[in-house]
Amino acid sequence: MNKPPVSISLSSYGADLVRQRGQGSFVDLLAAAGATRIEWREELLTHEEPAQLADATQARGLESVYSSPMELWLAGQSRPNPELATTLQRAQAFGAKWLKVSFGYFTDNNDLQALARLLTQSPVQLLVENDQTLHGGRIEPFQRFFGEVEQHNLPIKMTFDIGNWQWQDQSAASAARALGRHVGYVHCKAVARRADGKLVAMPPSASDLHLWEQLLRHMAQGVMRAVEYPLQGDDLVQLTTEHVATLARLGQSRLENAHV
């Protein structure tokens, strides 16, 4: 039985460590841990050479996702973010098959045809993520956007960040029911509220994993999923191996039951 692809967002290892070591230093670690994909983080880049990282991932049999914090739609502008074209090119230079961006400010006046023209010029698939903002992290604008995406038959999928819905006090289960069929990538993270009231990403508990299992029922079988929560410990290979295996198992019971 084929296991679903599991990615590791390099932000999981902590910004300081990743900047200190360089993102290329994690390629061997992820390959050893059984991950299938690596998520480069644009905001954590230091002096990395895109071609070297592309070669390193290919040599270890990994595929890559390029994550940029840019917003697809800017406030008051109908056309997509002018940085999108160069960001797609950068993702391609890193050997990435997918570019993950934030949603931004979507309105009914946004120019989907201009977006379509841009995307036809790139082999990189666009993934649009719900972030932690009021304008880019709520269910309703995504429903409207993906309604348009379907109508125009655009090659765009959603990055469904399980934890981020909590920043807007929205239900991940409601989001999965409304948007699950559009999802191409799932960012997995549990969320806890600190004593000062701030929400923070956490590794999953058993109840979190049970919720994630339920959410995946609304998405394509074997959808790509990623660790995006703290991976911190003395033996990062062992720790990463455990979490890769945990995420790979999500949704497998549904498949096994179908074969019984």
Tell me, what amino acid is at 246? Answer: T
d(CA 49, CA 90): 11
Residues 143 and 179 sit within 8 Å (Cβ to Cβ): yes
Tell me, what amino acid is at 190? Answer: A
pLDDT number for residue 258: 47
pLDDT number for residue 211: 96
Please, what's the b/e burial string for 126-141 (b: 16 or more CB within 10 A of its CB; e: otherwise)? bbbbbbebebbbbbeb
CA distances, 109 to each of 78, 100, 105, 145 (Å): 6, 23, 11, 11
Residue 254: which pLDDT band, with cuts at 50, 70 and 90?
low
Neighbouring residues of 118: CB distance < 8 A, sequence distance ≥ 6 = 80, 84, 85, 88
d(CA 182, CA 37): 20
Inform me whether the pLDDT recorded for 1 exceeds 80: no
Residue 2: which pLDDT band, with cuts at 50, 70 and 90?
confident
Q: What is the torsion angle, in degrees rounded to the nearest 10, for the CA atoms of residue 12, residue 18, residue 19 and residue 24?
A: -130
pLDDT digits (tens, 9 = 90+) for 71-101: 999 999 999 999 999 999 999 999 999 999 9
Residues 175 and 160 sit within 8 Å (Cβ to Cβ): yes
DSSP character for 195?
Answer: T
Average pLDDT over residues 6-11: 98
d(CA 56, CA 64): 11
CA distances, 139 to each of 84, 102, 177, 228 (Å): 23, 14, 10, 20
Residue 259: which pLDDT band, with cuts at 50, 70 and 90?
very low
pLDDT number for residue 191: 97
Note if the pTM is more than 0.85: yes
Residues 157 and 185 sit within 8 Å (Cβ to Cβ): yes
pLDDT digits (tens, 9 = 90+) for 112-153: 999 999 999 999 999 999 999 999 999 999 999 999 999 999
Residue 167: which pLDDT band, with cuts at 50, 70 and 90?
very high
Listing DSSP states for 89-152 in one string gives: HHHHHTTEEEEEEEEE---TT--HHHHHHHHHT-SSEEEEE--SSTTTS-HHHHHHHHHHHHHH
Residue 252: which pLDDT band, with cuts at 50, 70 and 90?
confident
pLDDT number for residue 107: 94
Residues 61 and 91 sit within 8 Å (Cβ to Cβ): no
Q: What is the torsion angle, in degrees rounded to the nearest 10, for the CA atoms of residue 68, residue 11, residue 140 and residue 142?
A: 40
- Which is more confident, 204 or 255? 204
Inform me whether the pLDDT recorded for 260 exceeds 60: no
pLDDT number for residue 253: 66
